[in-house]
């Protein structure tokens, strides 16, 4: 059995999964349940409403939930294709709906030595996406459904080929780093570059880098001072247009910084220990966990007394300008 996955760097809404199964010891029957599972949580927290579920043409699955707090609508689509020894199969789906879950059941018989290939094409759209600005949820539903049909025609191999070319263009050819000697050291630095590109929202200046990137759920994806001190220099020297977007995020989030300063009795801006959407301000939880001795909630002091973040943000602005000489950024309102 062989699994391959691709999340497109060229088509930012799209991703796909490919599974190949080749029985070697005898004939087998394969039963697959696959679709969209909205029950997935982040460290036990459920972020989505039940949502609307749709089947189109008995093949295309669509799920439309909203986030429970901010009411951001998500539109997710998926469709499955099957091949047996490179001959496409018409595999009927047994369609099912459950709480926050919509999926199909598929059955295929595979003879010894034959290869069953399953490809699952998916996309994700939201009402907060830049390219969806001004569109209704119904508009996005129709548009995203047509997109997954195009993706299905593109096929997994082409999607993987195109995104590999985009990685080459944006990272491997543009920022070549070669360490002479140990192959492991080369692998390690390239893996770091991979994460640095993967976790930065280079297409959207309204977001920043989560403290753990995409490597874990810690801090709920909130942005920290780590961006300015540890991460921003890489983008300043290699991808200044991305660095500018990270700096624009800090400027655009000034309302939240003003709000925090006022709440703490200061004038001006006090940037949050944990930062999220532009006008949210400080999103560090006030209490976290319980003291096992006293039984009282434990106050998270970092959101109140850690005050170096504002200086870190100012340092980031200075470093960006000193290296790039981007006077337009200094003069502009965003």
According to DSSP, the residues that pair with 109 across neighbouring strands are 29
Query: Would you say residue 188 lies in a domain?
Result: no
Answer yes or no: do 18 and 140 share one domain. Answer: yes
Domain boundary among the residues 172, 204, 235 is at 172
- Give the DSSP letter string of 30-84: EEEEEEEETT--BTTB--B---EEEEETTTEEEEE-BBTTT--BEEEEEEEEEEE
Same domain, 231 and 297: yes
- DSSP summary character for residue 223: B
Q: Give the rounded distance of the alpha carbon of 111 from its chain centre.
A: 39
* Same domain as 271, residue 220: yes
> 């939201």: which residue's tokens?
126
Sign, CA torsion 4/231/41/13:
negative
- 51 belongs to a structural domain: yes
The label of the residue with tokens 């508009």 reads 139
282 in a domain, yes or no?
yes
pLDDT at 291: 85
Same domain, 204 and 276: yes
Domain closes at, from 138, 172, 206: 172
Q: Are 155 and 20 found together in one domain?
A: yes
| CA–CA separation, 289 and 217 (whole Å) | 17
Residues 205, 287: one domain?
Answer: yes
Which H or E element spans position 286? none
Residues 84, 90, 92, 95, CA torsion sign: positive
Beta bridge partners of 31: 107
Low-confidence ranges of the chain (pLDDT < 70): 334
Identify whether residues 128 and 226 lie together within a single domain: no
CA separation for the pair 121, 77 (Å, rounded): 8
**pLDDT tens-digit map of 265-318:** 999 999 999 999 998 889 998 888 888 888 889 988 888 888 899 999 999 999
Q: Establish if 309 belongs to a structural domain.
A: yes
Residue 103 backbone zone (phi > 0: left; psi -120 to 50: alpha; other: beta)? beta
Q: Looking at residue 103, what is its pLDDT?
A: 95
pLDDT on residue 132: 96
Q: Is residue 54 domain-resident?
A: yes
Q: What does DSSP say about strands 60-64 and 74-84: parallel, antiparallel, or unpaired?
A: antiparallel
- Do residues 14 and 116 share a domain? yes
- Kindly report the CATH number assigned to the domain that includes residue 138: 2.70.98.40
Residue 55 within any structural domain of the chain = yes
Sheet holding 94-98, edge to edge: 28-37, 101-110, 94-98
pLDDT at 1: 86
User: Within a domain: residue 186?
Assistant: no
Helices (H), 168-239: 183-198, 226, 232-238
Percent composition of the chain: helix, strand, coil (DSSP 3-state, to 5):
35, 25, 35
Residue 34: CB atoms within 10 Å: 17
Number of domains in the chain: 2
pLDDT for res 334: 62
Listed in sequence order, the residues at least 6 apart from 55 whose beta carbon sits closer than 8 Å to its beta carbon are: 61, 62, 95, 102
CB 123 within 8 Å of CB 77: yes
Is 6 a member of any domain? yes
Residue 295: domain span: 194-331
CATH code for the domain in which residue 326 is found: 1.50.10.10
Tell whether 125 and 212 lie within a shared domain: no
Q: What is the CA radius of gyration of the chain?
A: 24
209 and 292 share one domain: yes
Q: 227 and 143 in one domain?
A: no
**Residue 159 sits in the same domain as residue 226:** no
Last residue of a domain, one of 172, 207, 226: 172
């Amino acid at each position: 059995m062989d699994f391959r996955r691709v999340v497109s760097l060229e088509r930012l809404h799209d991703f796909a999964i490919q599974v190949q199964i080749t029985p070697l010891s005898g004939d087998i029957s394969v039963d697959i349940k696959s679709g969209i599972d909205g029950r997935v949580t982040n460290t036990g927290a459920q972020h989505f409403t039940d949502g609307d579920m749709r089947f189109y043409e008995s093949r295309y699955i669509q799920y439309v939930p909203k986030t429970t707090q901010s009411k951001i609508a998500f539109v997710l689509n998926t469709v499955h294709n099957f091949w047996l020894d490179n001959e496409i199969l018409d595999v009927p789906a047994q369609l099912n709906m459950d709480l926050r879950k919509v999926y199909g059941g598929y059955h295929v018989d595979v003879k010894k030595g034959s290869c069953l290939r399953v490809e699952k094409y998916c996309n994700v759209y939201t009402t907060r996406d830049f390219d969806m600005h001004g569109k209704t949820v119904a508009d996005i539903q129709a548009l995203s459904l047509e997109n997954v049909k195009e993706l299905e025609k593109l096929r997994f191999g082409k999607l993987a080929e195109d995104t590999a070319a985009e990685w080459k263009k944006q990272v491997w050819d543009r920022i070549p780093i070669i360490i002479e000697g140990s192959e492991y050291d080369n692998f390690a630095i390239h893996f770091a570059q991979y994460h640095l590109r993967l976790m930065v929202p280079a297409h959207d200046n309204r977001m920043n880098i989560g403290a753990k990137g995409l490597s874990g759920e810690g801090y709920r994806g909130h942005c920290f001072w780590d961006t300015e001190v540890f991460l921003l220099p890489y983008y300043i020297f290699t991808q200044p247009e991305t660095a500018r977007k990270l700096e624009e995020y800090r400027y655009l989030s000034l309302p939240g910084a003003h709000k925090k300063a006022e709440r703490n009795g200061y004038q001006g801006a006090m940037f949050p220990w944990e930062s999220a959407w532009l006008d949210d301000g400080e999103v560090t939880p006030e209490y976290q966990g319980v003291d096992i001795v006293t039984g009282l909630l434990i106050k998270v002091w970092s959101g109140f007394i850690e005050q170096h973040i504002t200086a870190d943000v100012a340092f980031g602005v200075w470093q960006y300008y000193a290296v790039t000489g981007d006077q337009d950024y200094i003069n502009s309102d965003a």
